[in-house]
Amino acid sequence: MPGRTLHIDWTRCDARGSCIELLPELLRRDNWGYPLARTGSEFAVPAHLDDAAEDAVNLCPVLALRFTAPVRG
Amino acid sequence: MTMFDALTDEQETFVAPPVGVRRLLATGDPSLRTHLATFGPLPAVDGLGGVDGVTAALEEAGLAGRGGAAFPTWRKVASAAESGRAAIVVANGSEGEPMSAKDATLLHQSPHLVLDGLLLVAGVLRASEAHLVTTDGQLAPLQRAIAERADARGVRVRTTEDRFVSGEASAVANAIERGRAIPRDHVVRLSIAGIAGRPTLVLNVETLAHIAVIVRFGAAWFRSVGTADDPGTRLLTVAVDGTRRVVEAAGGTSLRRALEATGVAVESVRAVLVGGYHGAWATGEALDAPISAAGLAPFGAAPGAGILIVLSRGHCGVVRAAEIAHYLAGQSAGQCGPCANGLPEIAEVMGRLARRDRDASLPRQLRELGGLVIGRGACHHPDGTTRMVMSALEAFEHDVHAHARGLCQEVA
Ligand SMILES: Cc1cc2nc3c(=O)[nH]c(=O)nc-3n(C[C@H](O)[C@H](O)[C@H](O)COP(=O)(O)O)c2cc1C
Ligand code: SF4
Ligand code: SF4
């Protein structure tokens, strides 16, 4: 299964941080508590972390995370 | 004589294309009469070969958007046509950048070209709505122009707040849909799904004016001025000592010549902030670079919306960059954490550098903060702000070092 892409909606995210705990391999906390990925607002989720990513989407209290199209190229 | 005959008569009137580089600003006055005498009537949509014909002409012309991002216009039009759903076309005359005056100038001097472009694109896309968004100052000339012609009655004009991010495409769409000119999160392009999920084509007013002349006189005519990689003309705003001067220049004109054309002697110039507040600082040999994507790329700059902000000799680039960073931090819509928190911190550290705080770590702090905000917002405001600050650290490197030691070379 090709990896999916997660998108952070910064207009919703309020740094509650549950996604950072669920995806420590992909996210760390920035200076202000917001999730910091390797690439800005969209980041690739390797297949073996897909379940954890799914949890992060479902557990974000403000619905700031969502999957977008499969990773291109 | 029937109405139809009258139209046919008018279409047979031949109007020669403008010669030289005064194209969009070729008319002496904004009336419909002068507009028609200068450019002739707008060709009927049917004669242009539909969406395919128009996108082919725009591709051949090589027109790139004049609102800042320089995206190929034909691609945006083609993308809005793809879904087959009724599109919404928006003329973006928000001109949120305080140092820019070219869109206001265009709307005052040649409102009919902008309306032509908007109506033409709406026509080929069979759009259900055509909007024109601008600020208060341009409302009267626009309403006068619209009252002069029957075909523009359906254009919905709306004024927006005079804020830096109001003109960002998703903010413009948001203003139309929900009355709030702040950017919104989107994962698909607006040209595919924008206002109410419909294909929404947001084009800068200057881009639309170029479309209006390209469909009249053709791609070859468009390319007869400018360079192969920057065809046609572009409107430039030169901001110097509190004045803003607008000039229409051939694509690829050098910064030096553009400054001279507006009466600025390059010898008096310390640096130019190219592309406006989200732009990059040009100094030294960069002042001879052509104002085109390729010409400015080696200096990390881009034409953007054609804004050239002059820093005269005797003024400190670090201080000016800090003032701009402070302004930009205040213009954050405040809805995205990294932008709302990071930009004020960047402005604060930049302010300490400008005040010559003896702290050698300030440039490093700026680079780290920049890395924390880039790409982390619903719009590119954090990216643009960081670009300007990083470019200042580079262009004014000596001043930055001097400041860190409590000195300033430029101002005694
Ligand atoms: C912070 C920000 C502010 C912007 N302000 C404007 C503006 O005032 N006017 C404008 O035409 N484009 C502005 N843009 C660019 C628009 O998002 C969009 O790219 C443009 O209107 C598209 O038109 P074009 O393809 O004709 O250039 C802004 C972009 C950003 C990121
Ligand atoms: S869980 Fe949601 S609100 Fe919390 S940090 Fe992650 S994205 Fe932001
Ligand atoms: S990135 Fe900044 S300016 Fe852009 S929408 Fe978010 S808070 Fe507003």
This model of the complex carries an ipTM of 0.93
Q: pLDDT tens track of chain A, all 73 residues?
A: 578 999 999 999 999 879 999 999 999 999 999 999 999 999 999 999 999 999 999 999 999 999 996 534 3
For B173, the 3-state DSSP assignment is: helix
Q: Is the pLDDT of residue B3 over 60?
A: no
Judgement on whether residues B48 and B175 belong to the same structural domain of the protein = yes
Task: Give the DSSP H/E element, type plus range, for residue B269.
Answer: strand B269-274
Based on its alpha-carbon atoms, the radius of gyration of chain A, rounded to whole angstroms, reads: 11
CATH of the domain at B274: 3.10.20.600
Judgement on whether residues B306 and B327 belong to the same structural domain of the protein = no
What average pLDDT does the segment B169-182 reach?
A: 96
Judgement on whether residues B367 and B299 belong to the same structural domain of the protein = no
Q: Tokens representing B111?
A: 């409102």
Asked if residues B205 and B108 have their Cβ atoms less than 8 Å apart, the reply is no
Judgement on whether residues B238 and B321 belong to the same structural domain of the protein = no
Beta strand pairing status for B233-240 and B307-312?
parallel
Q: What b/e string do you get for B386-408 counting C-beta neighbours within 10 Å, with b at 16 or more?
A: bbbbbbbbebbeebbebbbeeee
**Inside any domain, residue B247:** yes
**Inside any domain, residue B193:** yes
Judgement on whether residues B165 and B303 belong to the same structural domain of the protein = no
**Inside any domain, residue B10:** no
**Inside any domain, residue B167:** yes
Task: Give the DSSP H/E element, type plus range, for residue B354.
Answer: helix B337-354
Strands of the A65-68 sheet, one edge to the other: A42-45, A4-8, A65-68
Judgement on whether residues B178 and B238 belong to the same structural domain of the protein = no
Beta strand pairing status for B200-204 and B129-134?
unpaired
* Ligand 1 pocket test target in B204, B237, B278, B336 with most atoms within 8 Å of CB: B204
Beta strand pairing status for A42-45 and B200-204?
unpaired
Count: domains in chain B: 3
**Inside any domain, residue B412:** no
Judgement on whether residues B251 and B105 belong to the same structural domain of the protein = no
Taking alpha carbons only, the member of B282, B246, B68 closest to residue B165 is B68
Q: Which domain holds residue B181?
A: 22-222
Q: Is the pLDDT of residue B11 over 60?
A: no
| Ligand 1: centre distance to CA B317 (Å) | 26
Q: Quote the CA–CA distance of B325 and B349 in Å, as a whole number.
A: 10
Judgement on whether residues B93 and B106 belong to the same structural domain of the protein = yes
Name the CATH architecture for the domain at A5-68: 2-Layer Sandwich (3.30)
Quick one: what percent of chain B has pLDDT higher than 90? 90
The pLDDT score that the predictor gives to residue B19 is 82
CATH of the domain at B34: 3.40.50.11540
Ligand 1 pocket check for B210: Cβ under 6 Å: no
**Inside any domain, residue B131:** yes
In chain A, residues with a C-beta closer than 8 Å to the C-beta of B187 are 7, 42, 66, 68
Asked if residues B56 and B162 have their Cβ atoms less than 8 Å apart, the reply is no
Nearest-CA distance B364 → chain A (Å) = 15
Which amino acid is residue B234, in one-letter code? R
Taking alpha carbons only, the member of B305, B345, B373, B266 closest to residue B69 is B305
**Inside any domain, residue B8:** no
Domain boundary among B279, B312, B345: B312
Ligand 3 pocket check for B332: Cβ under 6 Å: yes
pLDDT tens readout for residues B362-393: 999 999 999 999 999 999 999 999 999 999 99
**Inside any domain, residue B6:** no
In chain B, residues with a C-beta closer than 8 Å to the C-beta of A39 are 375
- CB-based burial of residue B187 (10 Å sphere; 0-12 exposed, 13-18 middle, 19+ buried)? middle
Q: Which atom of ligand 1 is nearest to the CA of B169?
A: 17
Q: Tokens representing B397?
A: 């490197």
Instruction: Verify whether the Cβ–Cβ distance B372 to A31 is below 8 Å.
Output: yes
Q: Is the pLDDT of residue B301 over 90?
A: yes
Q: Quote the CA–CA distance of B393 and B388 in Å, as a whole number.
A: 9
Judgement on whether residues B202 and B160 belong to the same structural domain of the protein = yes
Q: What contacts B317, CB < 8 A, 6 or more positions away?
A: B270, B271, B281, B311, B392, B395, B396, B399, B410
Instruction: Verify whether the Cβ–Cβ distance A32 to B342 is below 8 Å.
Output: yes
Judgement on whether residues B157 and B251 belong to the same structural domain of the protein = no
Q: Is the pLDDT of residue B412 over 60?
A: no
Which of A4, A10, A20, A39 is the best residue to mutate to test the B interface, defined by the most B CB atoms within 10 Å of its own CB? A10
